[in-house]
Chains A and B, each alone.
Chain A
Amino acid sequence: MQKQAIFQSKLLPYALVAPQLAIVLIFFYWPAVQAVIQSFLLQDAFGLSTSFVWFENYVELFGDPAYFETIVRTFVFSFAIAASSLSVALLLAVMADKPLRGGAVYRTLLIWPYAVAPPVVGVLWVFMLHPSLGVLSRYLRAAGIEWNPLLDGDQAATLVILAAAWKQISYNFLFFLAGLASIPKSVLEAAAIDGARPMRRFWTVTFPLLSPTIFFLLVVNIVYAFFDTFGIIDTMTRGGPGTSTVTLVYKVYNDGLIGGNLGGSAAQSVILMVMVIVLTGIQFRFVERKVTY
């Protein structure tokens, strides 16, 4: 089969690609370049006075030990969010994939939470687990657990991870379900006839065949944990108590929008951007090798 399309005119292919290129340039590269430029500037919130300061914003960031803590914390958060939401989603998908009465209902219900906006998720969990407003915190206290995420940093971090992971489960679930549906039943049946028990069937047949899905979701989840969780953090903890739930992206928001420190905030976004590029690179370079398509 011929894979190459043949165009009559030399310009036509460029014209066809142009809209896509324009979108990429305007919505991806232009803001990225803007961020890099902004990170070399010192500017007030209104943009009335601007001075070029070279790398001062970066020097200041890396001179701040708290920034390194934030980096480490962000990695811990992202790993915890990705790991927990992926594993729970996989478990649910495997269960929902079984022939069940009313299976469609379960599936629909499990997909619903994805439609909830992150700040709403935050508020929802606050209502459940806020030390004084929370419904669940009353039971936790009754069970003798000293529950107070307003002052206990570890509890607050757990709460944020829980809420962020919960929201992502639906998305992962959907992809896992689709992935499971594409696994040929004949292979599983053959394995069953050969005497493989369900667990063994899962680990030797299903899991490897799901690996492209898992890999894709891993990238998506890490990017989600890096960038999309700030709405949850803002409504739940506002970074507190102390700085125990301040992640990189929350710091960007807080310093830039609340603090009006646009240069410092831009420098942070550039670092964040580089980090995600490197991370994605590593994933594709090393993790992808273990993926069988």
Chain B
Amino acid sequence: MALRHFGAAAAVAIAVGMTASPALAVTEIQWWHAMTGANNDVIVKLANDFNASQSDYKVIPTYKGSYPDTMNAGIAAFRAGNAPHIMQVFEVGTATMMAATGAVKPVYKLMADAGEKFDPKNYLSAITGYYSTSKGEMLSFPFNSSSTVMWVNLDELKKVNAEIPKTWPEVFAVAKKLHDNGHPTCGFSNSWVTWVNLEQLSAWHNVPLASKANGLDGFDTKLEFNAPLQEKHLEKLVELQKDKTYDYAGRTNQGEGRFTSGECAIYLTSSAFFGNVKAQAKFNFTAAPMPYYPDVKGAPQNSIIGGASLWVMGGKSADEYKGVAKFLTFLSDTDRQVYIHKASGYLPITKAAYEKAKAEGFYKDQPYLETPLLELTNKEPTENSRGLRLGNMVQLRDVWAEEIEQALAGKKTAKQALDASVERGNTMLRQFEKTAVK
């Protein structure tokens, strides 16, 4: 019965939709995204607010699964000729999207064509740099940005009389203490093993991950992270893995529960972990900056971002683009950015929003929410810390993780694992270069 009603309702809805929409002349804008839980609520609220603010356009957000799922759904839809207007793509998909000339409409062009007021200087360059050409043309619109921070269980640190460690040697020492005093299965750990231990590590110490400014200056880039710094770091992790002073927690963020449960007292992962920590942790915590090696000159440099941006897909009508442009302007509004920042824990993307949150005293109560921003803006970005733009990044990360796992399991030395990561990764980069649209 229920199903029959549903069918009838659907039929009516379709009939109404078919007859009514041309009469209202509302241009629909499809927005595909990968946000769940509280962040999904934020997206729905943003779309509703925008739809209520004017009557010409209607933004329809659709959840499409995880980041890779959303991206694949968008690519498949594009191949089938019905791509959404706006697609949320995580930062590692940037190179793939960028290489797809014709499939996407660059944001700077979109705004100019639609005659929207748009000044890239209003946005935090540490964030927009990732999504811009070397000429500073913004290709996609930053939406949710985060960075790696070190989550610390203050209660446990107090128990072993330790300060929040600032450098890697200090982290190792504190972890040893924790391991020997009540944390036998985990002194410290991290999620996103390659993001934290290769990508961020390299940027934070101003050493290259790959040539050509980490790929920003061209697809003919070569990986270069089998260098002394990364090797030393991995060697240390391998050594500490033996007695679980460090304990590997998987390729993605599946191990984050080990921090909130209290098992690991030091845990490096995204600043966007904040929502879960706040909801679940029954202890005092903070998010400290990533540790660094003090013997590396100039360290720490600045961190690079994670998260996602909004890509506008190509081949749509001028009217639709006008709506998309209006929506992006709507998102850039200072109050709205402050709202997104507070509700999701992701970073504000405009300078004005950051200043406003600061002026409101937002960081006085929660200083750790400013940590990722301070990391990102710690120093003027260099070629090695502006961002990464490597093709096939999702699979590259899997390959690197495979090799790191081999090292941690004792099947390869750190050097062998990194050499193999570089070699296998370069093969994939050449493959990508071959297929990228020239």
Contact = CB atoms under 8 A, between A and B. Distances in A.
Contact of A260 (B185, B252, B392): B392
A254 B399 CA distance: 11
B100 A238 contact: no
A223 B408 CA distance: 34
Contact of A44 (B250, B398, B428, B436): B436
Contact of B394 (A151, A153, A240, A258): A258
Most chain B CB atoms below 10 A, which of A150, A152, A257, A260: A260
A48 interface: yes
A258 B409 contact: no
A206 interface: no
Interface string B241-260: 10000001111101101100
Interface residues of B, number: 44
Contacts of A132: 185-186, 249, 255, 257-258, 263
Contact of A241 (B78, B252, B392, B409): B409
A153 B411 CA distance: 10
B395 A47 contact: no
- Interface residue SS majority, chain B: helix
Most chain A CB atoms below 10 A, which of B258, B409, B428: B409
A45 B100 contact: yes
A261 B431 contact: yes
A151 B409 contact: yes
Contacts of B416: none
A255 interface: yes
Interface in A133-168: 133, 150-153
A152 B409 CA distance: 7
B402 A260 contact: no
Nearest to B431: A261
Given A44-B437, A132-B263, A260-B392, A238 B251 contact: yes
A150 B241 CA distance: 12
Given A254-B398, A260-B96, A42 B405 contact: no
Given A44-B99, A242-B409, A150 B249 contact: yes
A46 B254 CA distance: 30
Contacts of B154: none
B100 A44 contact: yes
Nearest to A50: B435
A242 B258 contact: no
B395 A49 contact: no
Nearest to A156: B405
B72 to A, nearest CB: 5
Interface in B95-139: 96, 99-103
A42 B101 CA distance: 17
B413 interface: no
A151 B257 CA distance: 18
Contacts of A44: 99-100, 435-437
A243 interface: yes
Contacts of A150: 248-250, 405
A46 B75 contact: yes
A259 B437 contact: no
Nearest to B75: A45
B149 interface: no
Interface in A32-61: 42-49
Contacts of A242: 402-403, 405-406, 409, 411
A133 B254 CA distance: 9
A239 interface: yes
B265 interface: no
Contacts of B434: 42
Contacts of B248: 150-151
B243 to A, nearest CB: 12
Interface of A: 42-49, 130, 132-133, 150-153, 238-243, 254-255, 257-261, 264
25 contacts: A44-B435, A44-B436, A44-B437, A46-B75, A46-B100, A48-B100, A48-B437, A49-B435, A49-B437, A49-B438, A132-B257, A133-B257, A150-B249, A151-B409, A238-B252, A238-B398, A239-B402, A240-B251, A240-B405, A241-B402, A255-B395, A257-B72, A258-B398, A259-B394, A260-B75
Given A44-B437, A150-B249, 10 more contacts: A42-B435, A47-B79, A132-B185, A239-B398, A240-B402, A243-B402, A258-B68, A258-B72, A260-B75, A260-B435
